[in-house]
Structure 1
């Protein structure tokens, strides 16, 4: 097993899982008038930057996996961007107003843990980037 090949694949999978987790409430909470807008806008920047960085990191990991750029450059960009992704996710998750979460319908009680699932998935991205950096440097 080649870590330089497996780590970017794991990073791509983590980014895709993170994006799916971010989209899930829009699909699963269909009741109008829920606080989804407030939920996603929590914190100084909201969660939009997390989605952007996850998409960016998919491209970065793919360029490393397909060897389109020098591996050390890709590793550096992946580590820095993934740490920024995790920091933004943590800032958002900690800033969510718990009272807003209790305004969701009972069928969406899973929303209470959603931000922690998103944070856990975001933690997988810098772990993959670090493994890739270790493998290529």
Structure 2
């Protein structure tokens, strides 16, 4: 598979992984919505923007891969989108307090921030590969 075809697939996978990671705690533990909301809004920017960027990223990567948008334009949109999503996730991961999650019924919640960061890193990597493939 060529990079120009594989990169959008990788980007979509990263975007969906970020969305799934952020939604999973709410789906599994609906009674913890207030605490999760407080955790997600922690840090300088919170993590809500990452969710928005990930959803837009799916559309951008799909549009480029399916030819609805010029591949160079889609890659040009995906790169800053991925970088900003990664930086917002990084700021949240490094500064959000785990205090609202004291007593949370699943220990994996403390590692969720790193999963979100890895997913946005995957989006950024895929966007960079996509840009390189379309411009090269």
State TM-score, norm by structure 2. 0.91
Match of 1:110 in 2: 108
- Listed as ranges, the matches of 1:1-137 within 5 Å are 1-32=1-32, 35-101=35-101, 103-105=102-104, 107-137=105-135
Change (3 A) 1:67 1:35: same
Q: After TM superposition, give the deviation of residue 30 of structure 1 in Å.
A: 4.1
**Runs of 5+ in structure 2 lacking a partner?**
none
SS of the residue corresponding to residue 35 of structure 1 reads helix
Figure out how many residues of one structure are paired with residues of the other and give that number: 135
Deviations 1:60-95 (A, max 9, x none): 001110112222211111101110110111111112
Q: Is the 8 A contact 2:60 2:74 kept in 1?
A: yes
Change (3 A) 1:72 1:34: closer
CA distance in 1, matches of 2:9, 2:87: 22
**Runs of 5+ in structure 1 lacking a partner?**
none
CA distance in 1, matches of 2:25, 2:32: 12
Over the residues paired in the alignment, what is the CA RMSD in angstroms? 1.6
Change (3 A) 1:72 1:44: same
CA distance in 2, matches of 1:124, 1:12: 9
